[in-house]
Amino acid sequence: MALAPERPKIYEGSRIPQHVPTILRVPDELRDSEDVLEINFGPNHPSTHGVLRLVIELHGEHVVGLRAVIGYLHTGFEKNMEHKTWWKAITYSPRIDYLSFQNNELVFVLAAEKLLELEVPRKATWMRMCLAELNRIHSHLVWLATAALELGAISMFWYCFRERDSILDLFEMVTGTRMHTRYYQVGGLAEDIPPGFYPEARKFCSWMPKAVDDYEALVDQNAIWLERTKGIGLLSAEDAVALGQTGPVLRGSGVDWDLRKAEPYLAYDQVEFDVPVYGNGDVWDRYKVHMDEMRESTRIVAQCLDRLEEMEGEPWIADDRKVVLPPREELHTSMESLIHHFKIVTEGYRVPEGEVYVAVESARGELGCYVVSDGGPKPWRVKFRAPSFVALEATATCMSDALVADLIAIVGSLDTVMGEVDR
């Protein structure tokens, strides 16, 4: 499914605004005229991306000036995580990108494990991969539901949320809760995989491709959808790389870059899947990337289920008692286990000194976590590199010569989650 390596030229040169890369400035000849209207695409607006404020200047229907104001959801995650032990800090991470929540936990836990140089049992690795892909499908479903809703294809919302509820049922079965499943621990998983999971997940995997066919049947041939997405929001490959884009935005611009293939983490080098890359750099291509990624993720989940069923009975968390809680049965008989349990719960396990940057391919792109540890029970510095933060920087470039209606399509296609942007 990947295109040929040479990238077609989407437009000549670079469209990144010269003065400030993220602000589209009104051209001088229009600035003094009376025809430019500055309005607030305020923090509360119906396109449900969360609290993004765009100050746009309109000349008729053309958007001639654009400035994004963010920070309306700034939650101080990083500062809060510095004050909690490593165990408790994991709880904060899924709320950052609240659509692909397990990816945030995953990247934080991977960073801590890298600093600890801890080996994770393969059952945990494969289950993490399975859940990460289910999460990717979940995130793309919500993206598709809301992006289509904004463009007017309202019934897509109900179709997508039907599948989304199936995925959340799977999460609930495994982890006990629908969203913000705090299922990953440093060392593996929190609990073993319940036995009913595999048949249910297989049912989902066999149903999902038909559901994606349904979605494509709804909009792929629809003249309004095509008109509103083809040729809109162009972003060339060079501009995308200069703007630091990753994920579907980058792959929609023709750059074949996916962390799962390029720098495989977990067990991605042992599963077969393709990476969709489309070359035109418009909203339509990003939409196609999302749709194909849903299909590929279903493939990965099916392969993970096959491998996981072979690993029935294996440990799901590492054995290192300095970091991982001992099994509860041991607490009755072994004094050392009791002491370890006590120290881990009260003081927290210590992660050796160092700094590390780990990146995973979340549904939006490269989600990175930079962790500095001072050898103590609390992280010293945690920084999440949010792909949506960077995607919003590309708004001004994509908006060169666009109408107000296109603005909605473009911001929707950049797939931003404000929790990530503002952290």
Contacts (CB under 8 A) with another protein, residues 361-420: 366, 368, 370, 372, 374-376, 380-381, 383, 385, 389-390, 392-393, 418-419
Binding to another protein in span 313-342, by CB under 8 A? none
Distance in angstroms (rounded) separating the CA atoms of residues 133 and 324: 25
Interaction of residue 354 with another protein, rule CB under 8 A: yes
Give the helix ranges, DSSP H, for 245-368.
Answer: 248-252, 259-262, 283-310, 335-346
Complete DSSP assignment for 12-30: SS--S-SSSTT-BPPPHHH
Choose the binding region for another protein from 17-25, 58-66, 187-195, 329-337 (rule: CB under 8 A): 17-25
CB of 306 to another protein, least distance (A): 28
User: Which residue in 270, 99, 297, 126 sits closest to 204, CA to CA?
Assistant: 297
Interaction of residue 359 with another protein, rule CB under 8 A: yes
Side-chain half-sphere exposure of 382, counting CA atoms within 13 A: 29
DSSP β-bridge partners for residue 354:
373
Amino acid occupying residue 287: Y
Binding to another protein in span 91-150, by CB under 8 A? 91-92, 95, 98-99, 101, 114-115, 117, 142, 145-146
CB of 348 to another protein, least distance (A): 11
SS3 355: strand
CB of 370 to another protein, least distance (A): 5
DSSP β-bridge partners for residue 360:
367
* Length of the chain counted residue by residue: 423
Smaller CB separation from another protein, 390 or 409: 390
Smaller CB separation from another protein, 255 or 271: 255
Binding to another protein in span 159-198, by CB under 8 A? 161-162, 164-165, 178-180
Helices 404-413/122-151 angle, 10° precision = 170
CB of 138 to another protein, least distance (A): 10
User: Which residue in 415, 404, 372 sits closest to 54, CA to CA?
Assistant: 404
Binding to another protein in span 261-300, by CB under 8 A? 262-263
CB of 14 to another protein, least distance (A): 8
Residue linked to tokens 């160092």:
354
Interaction of residue 42 with another protein, rule CB under 8 A: yes
Smaller CB separation from another protein, 111 or 212: 111
SS3 140: helix
Smaller CB separation from another protein, 19 or 210: 19
CB of 411 to another protein, least distance (A): 16
CB of 375 to another protein, least distance (A): 5
Task: Tell me the Ramachandran region of residue 281: left when phi exceeds 0, alpha when psi lies from -120 to 50, beta otherwise.
Answer: left
CB of 243 to another protein, least distance (A): 5
Instruction: Give the distance from CA 232 to its chain's centroid.
Output: 23
Instruction: Give the distance from CA 94 to its chain's centroid.
Output: 11
Interaction of residue 249 with another protein, rule CB under 8 A: no
Interaction of residue 7 with another protein, rule CB under 8 A: no
SS3 383: strand
Among 3, 7, 22, 200, binds another protein (CB under 8 A): 22
Interaction of residue 44 with another protein, rule CB under 8 A: yes
